[in-house]
Structures are given as structure tokens and as C-alpha cells.
Amino acid sequence: MATDAPSPPHGDTDTNPAQPTTEQFVEMQKSAEFAELRHTYRSFAFPLTVAFIVWYLLYVLLSNYAGGFMGTQLFGNINVALVFGLAQFATTFLIAWLYSRHAAAQLDPRAEAIKARMEAEL
């Protein structure tokens, strides 16, 4: 009588594929390919993050210390503070959209190539 477990039905795949070791991850992290991916990410994300923080702090500082300017009526009941506040939302969505495009065009293909290379080495 056979004691082997039955084989999985046709079409089923292993749900726990082999994983790279810690050493393989560390080695990949030291590679030029990974450094290029990290540089591409950082050269986009860091400047936009700094720019948005400066823009946000400008809004907060103007709201606290330049009440007269922020209260300036532009048209009807719309003042500078309302326009700047709404612009905060607009820039948040703009940055998210720009990052999504950048990631799809620049980051995802490079990350996929690294992943494929690591999986091929298993």
C-alpha cells in the first residue's frame, strides 16, 4: 500500500514558491542594478516631497502670520486662504498621479527585471 500523498489536481500550482535567501537579497541590494533603481526612485520622490512640505508649511505660516493677505477677497466669498487650501488637495492628487506615471514607466520595469533575475537564480 502506497503512503505517498496524492499529487495535486491538474492545473494547480505550488502556492509557496521557493524564496531567495537573506544573503541573495543582501547581494542584490549591493548590485549596480538595484542602486540604479534606488537612485531613480529617490531622484523623483525626494524633491517632490521637499517641495510639497515647503508648500504646505508656506500655507500654514501664511495662515498664522499673514491673516490680512490670506483673508483677501478674490471674488465673491472666495479668499486667498480658500484657494490655497484647495490647491493643497489639488497638488496632493497631482503628485500622486505623477508618481504613478513615473513608477509605471521607470520603477516597475526595473523592479520586475530584478525580481525575475532573482527568481531565475533559484
Task: Summarize pLDDT for 73-84 with one digit per residue, the tens.
Answer: 999 999 999 999
Domain ranges of the chain: 22-120
d(CA 100, CA 106): 10
Tell me what pLDDT residue 112 has.
Answer: 95
Are the beta carbons of 44 and 95 closer than 8 angstroms?
no
**19, 115 in Cβ contact below 8 A?**
no
In terms of pTM, does the model score above 0.85?
no
Which residue from 50, 53, 46 is spatially nearest to 102, judged by alpha carbons? 46
